[in-house]
Structure 1
Amino acid sequence: MKAMVYRGPYKVRVEEKDIPPIEHPNDAIVRVTRAAICGSDLHLYHGMMPDTRVGTTFGHEFIGVVEEVGPSVENLQVGDRVMVPFNVYCGSCWFCARGLYSNCHNVNPNATAIGGIYGYSHTCGGYDGGQAEYVRVPFADVGPSVIPEWLDDDDALMLTDALPTGYFGAQLGDIAEGDTVVVFGAGPIGLFAAKSSWLMGAGRVIVVDHLENRLAKAREFAHAETLHFGEHDDIVVALKKATDHLGADVAIDAVGAEADGNLTQHITAAKFKLQGGSPVALNWAIDSVRKGGNVSVMGAYGPLFSAVKFGDAMNKGLTLRMNQCPVKRQWPRLLEHIRNGYITPSEIITHRLPLEDIAEGYHMFSAKLDGCIKPVIVPSAA
């Protein structure tokens, strides 16, 4: 099969790899029909995620058709059209039993906090991802779901990470009716978080970014007010002025450790693979939310040191909530919202590329060229 393969920082290419085999009775092999490049993939692309090994195939957002199932798989059949959450999880451990699928205890021997993630380094379990023609899906009776006949492929693809994560970010903000919500980052997660905030009763939504095309998308897709942080001497002061000098009720960090990396990260990453995070957006969130407010963290941070203003958060009496999204837990409500016409996830997709051009796709997305917000990859086998 053809698959995207990592060859070092800023170096990805399409190579021939063996089609993955069934390794466990509960595995399935899925022929990928759509995949996506996620903003968090850029951390891998830039060589800033620990234990990203040469030869790895990225891609934690994908849908496809079941080609083969292991002998113990009961919930899927060959030919089923399925969407696969980015979480790899067992479904039976203490955490999975409580819906904390992203914290599964049985799928990642290399970490005590996070469970497994497709295509996201050996720090997250070492599972190959879906930017390929075929992918092995473990625990096939637990993770994937058959896509409803009425649901479009592109909308289903957005349900594998971007939409549930944005929705989860708004959910963790514990938004009360009429609240003012500020979202940092107008990438796909931030756009979905802003849109979801309205669904949870927000009275006002403000999105902060520095790319005009993304801010325009936030106004068009999420119907949000926008602030360009490059046009203000101090974005926190600007947000305070915009909120009667009190601050927002809820702040959502949809940026995380900047995917471009800060100067120190670029100097050290190649040797030390350090990306604990440059938590500018998180500190803005802490500073700009009102006293007693809520901060939700959806942005991707590495497992190492981050200089977060925790003392300020404590002294302001803030509630901080965060996690990797347990994707499948969000699907029932999101499918209702999509079917009722409240949200059309595919509206954020800006580019479609064949798998053979994925290196160009990464470059375009990384360098923010051609107004790229969300690129979708279509394997030739699709």
Structure 2
Amino acid sequence: MKALCWHGKNDIRYETVPDPEIEDPRDAIINVSSCAICGSDLHLFHHFMPSMKSGDIVGHEFMGEVMEVGSDVKKLKVGDRVVVPFTITCGECDQCRRGNFSLCERSNRNKAMADKVFGHAGAGLFGYSHLTGGYAGGQAEYVRVPFADETHIQVPDTLTDEQVLFLGDIFPTGWQAAVQCDIEPTDTVVIWGAGPVGQFCVRSAVLLGAQQVVVIDNVPERLSMAQAGGAIPINFDEESVLGRLQELTHGKGPEKCIDAVGLESHVPRSPDSVYDRVKQSLWMENDRAHVLREMIYVCRPGGVLSIPGVYSGMVDKIPMGQLMNKALSVRSGQTHVRRWSDDLVRRIDDGQIDPSFVITHSVSLEDGPEMYNVFRNKQDGCVKVVLKP
């Protein structure tokens, strides 16, 4: 089969690789109809995530048709159309029973390695390094899905791929980020980053009834898309973020802040961003934390910081004194996709939201390596790329 494979920093290749096979009676094989490039894939592309190996198949947003099932698979049959969550879940461990699916205790095949890094391993993830299990990703013609009875979302044939594909990651990620804010009708919700996840944070905060939603970025196409979804845009290249937020909240600060950027945040003229880039280049710091620092500074006392943006390791200069003295709550985590998916399918089917709004480019899988560069460089108005195997 054909797949997109990682071979080092800024090196994704379209290659022929062996077809996946049933390895466990609980497996299924999916014939991929659509997949996507995610913002967190760029962390692999830039080689900020450890434990990648040359030839690893990347990608964790994908869907398709079931073409083969193992002998112990009971809920799926050949021909079923499914979206596959990026988190692999057994459905039986203590965390899965609690609905904490991204913390599944059984699906990470490299649990001992992850335990050393994180204290306790999270779930296995598709196409996202050997630290998360070393599973082949979904930017491919076919994918093996472990624990297939639990690791799938069955979708109606009345909805297109473009409407449901993002149920596997960015839609529930934006939704969880907003839900974690405990949004009240009087709240101002501010979202740092207007990439694909930020776009779904905007629409989720609007659906959940925030009084006003603000988004911060410097890419005009992204800001326009967020504004069309109900957000007030702030271009940090053209105006003061702090001054504008003071104005919008009458000097009180926003109640709820969402970091939809993660470890690669950078504002060129900001001294702390320069500091982070230097330390990161010298391998003295893993992640860049400008957004975290700014959220802690501007958030109203007693407010909530929600962090869907991906972080990989250590960050410096976090203002813990401000965080503690302002009594801020921090909520984070990889997305518990299956906790939200049934409700989100219903909302799509009811017409409350059409997730296809975020797609700006749809190309063949063969064009994937080129589109990684287009997406990374934000060229041609690129916000979200869908790939067709």
Name the stretch that deviates more: 305-314 or 181-190: 305-314
TM-score for the superposition, normalised by structure 1 = 0.94
The 3-state SS of whatever aligns with 1:278 is coil
Name the stretch that deviates more: 61-70 or 253-262: 253-262
Give the AA of the match of 1:6. W
CA distance in 2, matches of 1:242, 1:180: 9
Is 1:16 aligned with 2:30?
no
Offset at 1:242?
Answer: 2.0
CA distance in 2, matches of 1:72, 1:265: 50
CA distance in 1, matches of 2:373, 2:332: 30
Offset at 1:10?
Answer: 0.4
For residues 52-77 of structure 1, give each alpha carbon's deviation from its aligned partner in whole angstroms, at most 9, with x where no partner exists.
11111111100011111111001111
CA distance in 2, matches of 1:173, 1:186: 18
Is 1:230 aligned with 2:237?
yes
Give the AA of the match of 2:297. D
Name the stretch that deviates more: 292-301 or 331-340: 331-340
Instruction: Report if aligned partners of 1:88, 1:138 keep a CA contact under 8 Å in 2.
Output: yes
Name the stretch that deviates more: 258-267 or 355-364: 258-267
2:158 equivalent in structure 1: 150
The 3-state SS of whatever aligns with 1:352 is strand
2:295 equivalent in structure 1: 285
Instruction: Report if aligned partners of 1:39, 1:259 keep a CA contact under 8 Å in 2.
Output: no
Name the stretch that deviates more: 145-154 or 313-322: 145-154
Is 1:339 aligned with 2:354?
no
For residues 329-379 of structure 1, give each alpha carbon's deviation from its aligned partner in whole angstroms, at most 9, with x where no partner exists.
111221222122111101100001111111101010111111110000100
2:208 equivalent in structure 1: 200
* Pairing partner for 2:261 from 255, 258, 277: 255
Give the AA of the match of 2:344. L
* Pairing partner for 1:330 from 340, 356, 364: 340
1:354 equivalent in structure 2: 364
Offset at 1:141?
Answer: 0.7
* Pairing partner for 1:169 from 177, 191, 197: 177
For residues 176-207 of structure 1, give each alpha carbon's deviation from its aligned partner in whole angstroms, at most 9, with x where no partner exists.
11211111110111111111111111010011
TM-score for the superposition, normalised by structure 2 = 0.93
CA distance in 1, matches of 2:357, 2:202: 14
Instruction: Report if aligned partners of 2:265, 2:289 keep a CA contact under 8 Å in 1.
Output: no
For residues 7-60 of structure 1, give each alpha carbon's deviation from its aligned partner in whole angstroms, at most 9, with x where no partner exists.
110011111111011110000010111000000000000111111111111111
CA distance in 2, matches of 1:83, 1:359: 23
Instruction: Report if aligned partners of 1:68, 1:78 keep a CA contact under 8 Å in 2.
Output: yes
Unaligned 5+ runs, structure 1: none
CA distance in 1, matches of 2:20, 2:121: 28
Give the AA of the match of 1:247. G
2:5 equivalent in structure 1: 5
* Pairing partner for 1:364 from 355, 367, 374: 374
After the TM superposition, which residues 57-96 of structure 1 pair with which residues of structure 2 at under 5 Å, given as runs?
A: 57-96=57-96
Instruction: Report if aligned partners of 2:265, 2:288 keep a CA contact under 8 Å in 1.
Output: no
Offset at 1:157?
Answer: 0.6
Give the AA of the match of 1:7. H
Offset at 1:106?
Answer: 1.3
Give the AA of the match of 2:185. E
CA distance in 2, matches of 1:307, 1:125: 31
Identity between Structure 1 and Structure 2 (%): 43
Instruction: Report if aligned partners of 1:277, 1:301 keep a CA contact under 8 Å in 2.
Output: yes
Change (3 A) 1:350 1:275: farther
Instruction: Report if aligned partners of 2:203, 2:230 keep a CA contact under 8 Å in 1.
Output: yes
Offset at 1:113?
Answer: 4.0
CA distance in 1, matches of 2:285, 2:5: 21
Offset at 1:145?
Answer: 2.4
Instruction: Report if aligned partners of 1:250, 1:293 keep a CA contact under 8 Å in 2.
Output: yes
2:193 equivalent in structure 1: 185
State how many pairs are aligned: 373
1:241 equivalent in structure 2: 247
CA distance in 1, matches of 2:41, 2:373: 12
2:46 equivalent in structure 1: 46
Instruction: Report if aligned partners of 2:192, 2:215 keep a CA contact under 8 Å in 1.
Output: yes
Offset at 1:308?
Answer: 2.4
For residues 219-260 of structure 1, give each alpha carbon's deviation from its aligned partner in whole angstroms, at most 9, with x where no partner exists.
11x21111011123x422331222111100111111111178
The 3-state SS of whatever aligns with 1:237 is helix
Give the AA of the match of 1:175. I
Instruction: Report if aligned partners of 1:5, 1:56 keep a CA contact under 8 Å in 2.
Output: yes
Offset at 1:211?
Answer: 0.7
CA distance in 1, matches of 2:286, 2:176: 22
Change (3 A) 1:58 1:236: same
The 3-state SS of whatever aligns with 1:292 is coil
For residues 146-189 of structure 1, give each alpha carbon's deviation from its aligned partner in whole angstroms, at most 9, with x where no partner exists.
21122211111111101000000000011011211111110111
CA distance in 1, matches of 2:99, 2:285: 28
Change (3 A) 1:307 1:120: farther
Instruction: Report if aligned partners of 2:288, 2:315 keep a CA contact under 8 Å in 1.
Output: no
Offset at 1:312?
Answer: 1.0
